[in-house]
Homo-oligomer: A and B are copies of this chain.
């Protein structure tokens, strides 16, 4: 696998800040550095980086895939109110379920869904107004 500037910038886009971006968002961010980079190139490099374990994917709503440049073990919380994705510390189980005996478990991903602190507050305030 060759070392290209495009590949570098795709990875840099995901690691420059603690964020979870869609392919299109990565594309927009990388275009600030390489104005004529192709969306296909972004997709291919994202795929390669996932395969090589340098980035993760987060599947959130039923919509599209998010990419996460930070691969230390952690879980995610997806807010059903505002759509934001939060990192949370890993609460992975110590023991695997018994059905997985004989299976080779390579990864465990947990996603929590609900309302973040802000959305809880926002909805509470609305309720109080109505009363």
Which A residues fall within an 8 A CB radius of B? Answer: 57, 59-60, 62, 65, 75, 77, 80, 86-93, 95-100, 102-117, 120
A84 CB to nearest B CB, Å = 11
A91 CB to nearest B CB, Å = 4
* Cα–Cα, bound, A98→B99 (Å): 29
Q: Which of B75, B93, B95 contacts A97 (CB 8 A)?
A: B75
* Across-interface contacts of A80 in B (CB, < 8 A): 106
Which B residue's beta carbon lies closest to that of A119? B104
* Cα–Cα, bound, A117→B76 (Å): 28
Given known contacts A91-B95, A95-B91, A109 and B111 CB-to-CB distance under 8 angstroms: yes
* Across-interface contacts of A114 in B (CB, < 8 A): 103-107
* Cα–Cα, bound, A116→B101 (Å): 9
Which B residue's beta carbon lies closest to that of A108? B112
Q: Which of B62, B97, B120 contacts A89 (CB 8 A)?
A: B97
